[in-house]
């Protein structure tokens, strides 16, 4: 059963990685039509791909890779926060300096958690930091839906779809990461939860892929 679950998890993860690469390519093909603030989401996609590759290499070499998750959590939070700062300040007037202080404070908490609580060198899931950042991402996404004007143009639809993807994935996987350290003690059954998370991540990448493809299709019609 263990080998079968590992194969299923590996297959789903591989498909998600292929779609992730496709998303990065789609972004690069459309970069001239996209606003500069979208670049932070592309940075997020690239960081995700690099993290997946590094984690996979370490896993194949039977080297513990949980410390990669600690580092990724910090970078993921900073990049996605900058993405939302960029798009939200286009909609409402708020003091970005306060937001930057908030990002810095949470980043410090993430680092302190890895140093003093869920130690990065003891191969412990950083579930506290992951839970905190995912709740913040959910809050960003909900805030965007509440304040974003309804506009029927390709760029607004793209942002709406990306925001929907973010809200779906981080809300769906929240409880998995909250209980990750407990789940790791459930022998083979914890792999079922990680397979579920992999499916959520695959759906996330599919939504992003659809959003970018739809944007490319629409803008091509408009500019031809």
How far, in Å, are 2, 4, 7, 45, 72 from residue 98 at the CA level? 48, 49, 46, 26, 24
Q: DSSP state, 186?
A: S
- What is the span of the domain harbouring residue 18? 2-222
- Cα–Cα distance for residue pair 10/27, rounded to 1 Å: 26
Helix, strand, coil percent content, the chain, rounded in steps of 5 = 85, 0, 15
- Cα–Cα distance for residue pair 100/4, rounded to 1 Å: 45
Q: Is residue 159 pLDDT above 90, yes or no?
A: yes
Phi, psi at 153, each rounded to 5° = -140, 160
Of 13-27, 52-66, 158-172, which gets the smallest average pLDDT?
Answer: 52-66
Following CA atoms 205, 210, 212, 214 in sequence, which dihedral angle do they give, to the nearest 10 degrees?
180
Contact status, residue 107 vs residue 136, Cβ threshold 8 Å? no
CATH code of the domain containing 212 = 1.20.1070
Tell me which H or E stretch contains 94.
none
- Residues near 22 by beta carbon (within 8 Å), at least 6 away in sequence: 209
Q: Which class for 113: exposed (0-12), middle (13-18), buried (19 or more C-beta within 10 A)?
A: buried
Three-class SS state of 72: helix
Using 50, 70 and 90 to split pLDDT, how confident is the model at 185?
low
pLDDT digits (tens, 9 = 90+) for 65-87: 889 999 999 999 999 999 999 99
Beta-carbon neighbour count of residue 61 at 10 Å?
Answer: 8
Closest CA to 140 of 40, 24, 21: 40
**What is the value of pTM for the model shown?**
0.93
Give mean pLDDT, residues 122-130: 88
Q: Is residue 157 pLDDT above 70, yes or no?
A: yes
How far, in Å, are 64, 71, 92, 118, 196 from residue 115 at the CA level? 17, 12, 37, 7, 29
How many separate domains does the chain show?
1
Using 50, 70 and 90 to split pLDDT, how confident is the model at 192?
confident
Q: Which class for 95: exposed (0-12), middle (13-18), buried (19 or more C-beta within 10 A)?
A: exposed
| Mean pLDDT of the residues in the chain | 89
pLDDT digits (tens, 9 = 90+) for 13-49: 999 999 999 999 999 988 888 876 788 999 999 999 9
- Cα–Cα distance for residue pair 127/110, rounded to 1 Å: 10
């Amino acid at each position: 059963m263990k080998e079968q679950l590992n194969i299923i998890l590996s297959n789903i993860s591989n498909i998600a990685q292929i779609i992730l690469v496709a998303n990065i390519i789609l972004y690069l093909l459309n970069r001239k039509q996209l606003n500069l603030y979208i670049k932070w989401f592309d940075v997020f996609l690239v960081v995700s791909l690099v993290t997946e590759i590094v984690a996979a290499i370490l896993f194949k070499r039977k080297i513990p890779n949980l410390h990669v998750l600690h580092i990724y959590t910090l970078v993921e939070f900073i990049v996605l926060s900058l993405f939302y700062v960029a798009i939200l300040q286009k909609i409402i007037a708020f003091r970005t300096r306060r937001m930057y202080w908030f990002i810095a404070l949470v980043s410090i908490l993430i680092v302190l958690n890895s140093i003093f609580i869920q130690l990065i060198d003891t191969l412990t899931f950083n579930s506290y930091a992951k839970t905190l950042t995912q709740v913040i991402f959910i809050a960003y996404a909900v805030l965007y839906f509440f304040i974003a004007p309804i506009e029927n143009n390709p760029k607004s639809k793209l942002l709406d779809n990306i925001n929907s993807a973010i809200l779906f994935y981080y809300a769906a996987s929240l409880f998995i990461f909250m209980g990750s350290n407990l789940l790791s003690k459930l022998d083979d059954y914890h792999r079922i939860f990680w397979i579920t998370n992999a499916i959520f991540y695959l759906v996330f990448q599919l939504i992003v892929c659809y959003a970018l493809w739809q944007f490319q299709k629409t803008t091509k019609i408009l500019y031809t």
